[in-house]
Amino acid sequence: MNKITFIIALFLVLEIKAVFCAGQTSIIPEPLFSKKESGKNIEVKTIFLEASPAFDKVGKYIKNELETQHHIPVTTQKTTAKSVRLNLVFSSDIENAEGYELSVKKREINITASSENGIFYGFQSLRQLLTPVFSNTGTYSLVPCVIKDEPRYGWRGFMLDESRHFFGKKKVKQILDLMALNKLNTFHWHLTDEPGWRIEIKAYPELTRTGAIGNYTNPEAAPAFYTQKDIEDIVHYAAERFIQVVPEIDMPGHASAAVRSYPYLSGGGTKEHPDFTFNPGKEEVYQFLTNVLDEVSSLFPSPYIHIGGDEVHFGNQKWSADPAILQLMEKHDLKNTREVEHYFIKRMNDTIQSFDKRMIGWDEIVESGVSPKSSVVMWWRHDKPQVLEEALEKGYPVILCPRIPLYFDFVQQESDTNGRKWGGRYCSSDSVYVFPDNLPVDVNQKDILGIQANLWSERFASLEAVDYMMWPRLSALAEAAWSASSKKDFDHFLGKMKNMYQIYDQYNVYYFDLFSPLYHPEPKVLQKH
């Protein structure tokens, strides 16, 4: 390497590691406003934490994270001349509940917000600004600065499919930790589908004795599921990180695991998708689902329950000849099986409302005529933009999660083979990052609640494979969901990923490296038994 090349390379490294550069920060997602202040960098060895009584809960989280993740001693009793003072300050002037102001000057740090959520997100920014000086001793440096920030969207989500392959509590908690760092606030949990039923329902023990057997790769794998105690633990863990957990109980399709457990529920299926549907003509089915949703609603404080409602045509061929369904059609003047499906969706929406929850469904529910006042649509069919437009015209609140570019079971580079493509298209980090500003609708209208990435797990049985598909695309999603469009710059985002990769390494995440794709090779595909 000649001298000129070395100088250029050194300059690039320094630019990447810079905490503030050209009015932008090293923080992911990029804040709305940031300014580097004059003065020397602050050395941080110990912190004196003082919190308003309104911020007691988040204060305990901050103390724990500083001590366990950054090895910085924190005292809440008294300050010393060598301590940096961290103040958590309440201000009603900050209107956005997730907004915050962060200031660093001399030996004092202020995080100001009108809610614990805002304090929490201000702290996540602070964590990313802490530059290790001696990482093994917990000594850090901070640049004097002022940051004012709030999110673009209120719904910033990630969905994990654990029906097809089960990953367990430890993995879910790691995902929640990194979601919190990236200011994502919704974990959509796909718990039931064809391969397996993954949540304990005490009224129906066969759901986990039989329905939890197997996965997409091995239909005879030992039962794998979450007990209700596990669910409570994870929901509590998420809540400490200001993440809501939204459960999905699939119906009336994708019901095979439930039907294996209780065959009387079956509405039939096909050779490829056996016993795919619940039977919408049987009152016993509605009673079963009401009892299941009763337990589910008590486990999840979130105001939402997702019922799926998609791809029913994969397995409803027997409906047109089923005696119970024919009787239902006659009784309610339903002209075809599509109207039977819509009847089912409306009825389950009423059930969910009875539990003081709001129903979420995939975008097929737009055709059902269910009330926009009691339901939310997830637009997933990127090849049907007319469905998105129809949903918005009818006044449905919408969450954007189209296959292209937000299905993370699609490959992220041309050469990868373990994952899907759509007519040659795939989901690269830059395509995730520029979303949703390339849509043919006004993406700032009030009925668009936010955006979400979905990881379906047919092809991903190992933890390494899940990591590889999630990261860094989920960080790109986080910036797309939080940062104002005017603050987005993919080249700058790439520079910030150098810092984020160090954090991934701390969490032992097997990520896709945007700079050196061979650093972590694509995990191998497991063959079906």
Asked if residue 487 lies in contact with residue 32, where contact means CB atoms within 8 angstroms, the answer is yes
Whole-angstrom CA distances from 490 to 30, 482, 486, 496, 498 are: 11, 14, 12, 10, 13
Written in H, E and C, the secondary structure of 100-152 is: EEEEEECCEEEEEECCHHHHHHHHHHHHHHCEEEECCCCEEEECCEEEEECCC
Which residue among 67, 311, 416, 458 is the active-site one? Answer: 311
- 3-state secondary structure at position 365: helix
Written in H, E and C, the secondary structure of 190-253 is: ECECCCCECECCCCCCHHHHCCCCCCCCCCCCCCCCECHHHHHHHHHHHHHCCCEEEEEEEECC
Nearest-angstrom CA–CA distance, 466 and 238: 19
Asked if residue 122 lies in contact with residue 15, where contact means CB atoms within 8 angstroms, the answer is no
Q: Could you say which DSSP state residue 320 is in?
A: G
Told to judge if 479 belongs to the known catalytic residues of this protein, a careful annotator would answer: no
Told to judge if 188 belongs to the known catalytic residues of this protein, a careful annotator would answer: no
Residue written as token pair 């954007």 = 400
Nearest-angstrom CA–CA distance, 51 and 39: 26
Sheet holding 100-105, edge to edge: 33-36, 145-149, 100-105, 108-113, 84-90, 47-51, 74-75
List all residues 6 or more positions away from 59 whose beta carbon is below 8 Å from its beta carbon.
49, 51, 76, 88
Q: How many CB atoms lie within 10 A of CB 326?
A: 15
Which residue among 193, 200, 364, 522 is the active-site one? Answer: 193
Beta-bridge mates of residue 104: 109, 145
Is the CA virtual torsion 307, 312, 318, 319 positive or negative? positive
Query: CA geometry: angle at 96 spanning 95 and 102, to 5°?
Result: 95
Told to judge if 193 belongs to the known catalytic residues of this protein, a careful annotator would answer: yes
Nearest-angstrom CA–CA distance, 198 and 356: 24
Which residue among 70, 165, 190, 254 is the active-site one? Answer: 254
Burial of 285 (0-12, 13-18, 19+ CB in 10 A): buried
Asked if residue 404 lies in contact with residue 422, where contact means CB atoms within 8 angstroms, the answer is yes
List all residues 6 or more positions away from 76 whose beta carbon is below 8 Å from its beta carbon.
48, 49, 50, 51, 59, 63
Nearest-angstrom CA–CA distance, 427 and 474: 12
CA of residue 295 relative to chain centroid, distance: 23
Asked if residue 305 lies in contact with residue 297, where contact means CB atoms within 8 angstroms, the answer is yes
Nearest-angstrom CA–CA distance, 29 and 520: 24
List all residues 6 or more positions away from 180 whose beta carbon is below 8 Å from its beta carbon.
120, 124, 241, 242, 243
Residue among 174, 310, 339 nearest 241 (CA): 174
Active-site positions read: 193, 254, 311
